Structure 1
Amino acid sequence: MDTLAGLLDGPRARGAFLLRSLLTPPWSLRIEDESPLALCALVQGSACILPASGGLIRVEAGDVMIFRGPDHYTVSDHPDTVPQVHILPGQECRTPDGMPVGQLTDLISPPGAFGVRTWGNDATGGTEMVTGAYQVHSEVSSRLLATLPPVLVIRHDSWDNPLVGFLADEIVKDAPGQAAVLDRLLDLLLIGALRTWFARQDSAAPGWYRAHSDPVVGPAVRMLQSEPARPWTVALLARETGVSRAALARRFTELVGEPPMAFLTGWRLALAADLLREPDATLAAVARKVGYGSPFALSSAFKRFHGVSPQEFRSAG
């Protein structure tokens, strides 16, 4: 597993919130659900994004937007349109003056008129959006998400990806196993968008991503990520990559931004945090999976790195 795969592998989307919106101006949605990560694909029409940090981003059909939580933002037909609905945690919807208006999918009139998982103010609206929100935090993904801007836009003419259309077609279906199909399509669309963004020359891709193409550091990073439980040392890693210890340590630090063993420690403890969210995971089992000799050793390292004990971390949810 590499860090980018880790974004969606632990945990992947599991019952992610997915919605199709059909809209005719004027319309404006204030998103305050504080999801750790959300993706919005504009199937047709155009829209404006007003991030919490300020500024204005205009998007067109085929563009894909990734929103890094928990920042709030507004999506509307025009920057001057006042939000009509505030979407809060749990997808609770309220009017601007705080009056409850039910769930997004309850706002359809009559219910089901536009199809399942669909909301809007006009069945023939010229703007169609598909939105997917990840509900669960992952410490593995936190290492990646920390490198992303609050709003990331992949323009339709910068990549060739058919998944926007597939997701739009599938989101209105109500077949057996449909939730799993939509989760996987959302995962694929997200990972494709992130790979496209990281591959850009002008993007501030993290060091571990750029290092993947290096003939020495790339294999070293992949070995550390795929085998975290192995008793790695710089000497062993150097032998596996066919270079000297000094050469590996120097090149790894230059490209990744930290020494090999520091990178390994961060990766192990990120994996541990993710595994601890599994309901049946024991501290001993997690310690074995991420390369610590005992629960005590993992607990001590975990507290130094995360600032809380594994038990406190798990209790915090």
Structure 2
Amino acid sequence: MPNVPRPFPAPSDLLGESLHLLRLTGTLYCRAELTAPWGIEVPALDGLMALLVVTSGHCLLEVDGAEPRLLRQGSLTLIPHGIPHRLRSDPGADVEPLFDIPVEQVSERYEIMRHGGGGDLTHTTYGVVHFDHVAAQRLVAQLPEVLHIDAWDEDTANWLSSTLRLISREALALRPGGETVITRLADILVVQAIRSWLDSAPEANRGWLAALRDEQVGQALALLHRAPERQWSVASLAREVGMSRSAFSARFTDLVGESAMRYLAHWRMQLARMHLRRTSEPLSVVARRFGYQSEAAFCRAFKRAFGVPPGNIRQASDEVSLTARGWDGAPAR
């Protein structure tokens, strides 16, 4: 039977796969009822993304080194890297540290904040989220410090407006299942905001995102992503994508920023760490799953990558959670 060339996904499909992996985990939502004057100082939230939807009223967003930005009703703002920022009703309003403001804890992952001086009312829904998958982390790493969507095309604006209204209604009503509805809707909003950025931002044509769009390097990345357990080499990847070894190696490193074998090792380790947190498989099975011939070789590579043996990651996974009591190590309220 003749060999049939393996079909490769189009570059847009590779981006689509990465967006598909943008699943929010460890999500905490705060519905805020804010009356002017008010101000909130949000500290650094390392490893987390903040999501802010203004469902009524308006506020100012301040980030060091940038001009204050007016956030209007219906706007969506992502702060992908968890940098410190301030939210105010107006430029002169005093700010209070976020974790000094009392909240009503409705559930482990949902809280209500009522704060301010009794004037004009602003409603916001503020989410703090985390992405586990290495593809999602790679994509998020290229996003700007603040990603703000205020003006949408007509078609997008229609469904966005409906989605924001539904979030607002769920946040206000707190009906059974409301947390799940808001979380799923937030998935959609985050992906749509990133898609909008991908379509328009010059930075989206650099680095790993540019590599996904490249015909040969994108094909190689697809192979590594889908079969990390295979014993890949630079030569075998070059053959698969129809390039010479030297040309492929140079192009991969130029676009991705690291060699193909270093990328594969990092990809395997990140997948393995995520897998260890979710399963109780023996380490020998995990090692084979991610391309290592022995448990000892896997453990050595894991410790080089993360500074601790894989067993430590598995133990820690039972202890780490993002809850209203403290956002990823923030002081308890």
Q: What secondary structure, in the 3-state scheme, does the structure 2 residue paired with 1:209 have?
A: helix
With over 3 angstroms needed to count, the CA separation of the structure-2 counterparts of 1:13 and 1:298, relative to structure 1, is same
Q: TM-score, normalised by structure 1?
A: 0.77
Is residue 15–residue 183 contact of structure 1 (8 Å, CA) maintained in 2? no
Who is 1:180 aligned against? 180
With over 3 angstroms needed to count, the CA separation of the structure-2 counterparts of 1:228 and 1:4, relative to structure 1, is farther
Is residue 7–residue 138 contact of structure 1 (8 Å, CA) maintained in 2? no
Who is 1:30 aligned against? 41
1:225 maps to 2:231: no
1:87 maps to 2:98: yes
Who is 1:153 aligned against? 147
Is residue 48–residue 78 contact of structure 1 (8 Å, CA) maintained in 2? yes
* Partner deviation per Cα, 1:246-289 (whole Å, 9 max, x = no partner): 33222222221222222111111111222222253442333233
Task: Return the letter of the residue paired with 1:254.
Answer: D
Partners of 2:212 and 2:34 in 1: CA distance: 42
Partners of 1:286 and 1:219 in 2: CA distance: 26
Who is 1:73 aligned against? 85
1:284 maps to 2:278: no
Is residue 3–residue 144 contact of structure 1 (8 Å, CA) maintained in 2? no
Task: Return the letter of the residue paired with 1:22.
Answer: E
| Identity percentage of aligned residues | 29
Task: Return the letter of the residue paired with 1:266.
Answer: H
Who is 1:196 aligned against? 196
One of 39, 47, 50 as aligned partner of 2:62: 50
Higher helix share: 2
With over 3 angstroms needed to count, the CA separation of the structure-2 counterparts of 1:288 and 1:178, relative to structure 1, is farther
Aligned residues: 293
How far apart are residue 124 of structure 1 and its match?
A: 10
1:19 maps to 2:20: no
Is residue 14–residue 180 contact of structure 1 (8 Å, CA) maintained in 2? no
Is residue 13–residue 187 contact of structure 1 (8 Å, CA) maintained in 2? yes
Is residue 139–residue 209 contact of structure 2 (8 Å, CA) maintained in 1? no
Partners of 2:307 and 2:18 in 1: CA distance: 22
Is residue 24–residue 131 contact of structure 2 (8 Å, CA) maintained in 1? no
* Partner deviation per Cα, 1:189-239 (whole Å, 9 max, x = no partner): 112222322343333665121122222112221221122122222232223
How far apart are residue 75 of structure 1 and its match?
A: 1.1
1:133 maps to 2:133: no
1:246 maps to 2:240: no
Q: TM-score, normalised by structure 2?
A: 0.73
How far apart are residue 5 of structure 1 and its match?
A: 5.5
Show structure 1 runs of 5+ residues with no match.
89-93, 96-100, 107-115
Who is 1:91 aligned against? none
Partners of 1:225 and 1:124 in 2: CA distance: 53
With over 3 angstroms needed to count, the CA separation of the structure-2 counterparts of 1:169 and 1:235, relative to structure 1, is farther
Is residue 46–residue 127 contact of structure 1 (8 Å, CA) maintained in 2? yes
Cα RMSD (Å): 3.4
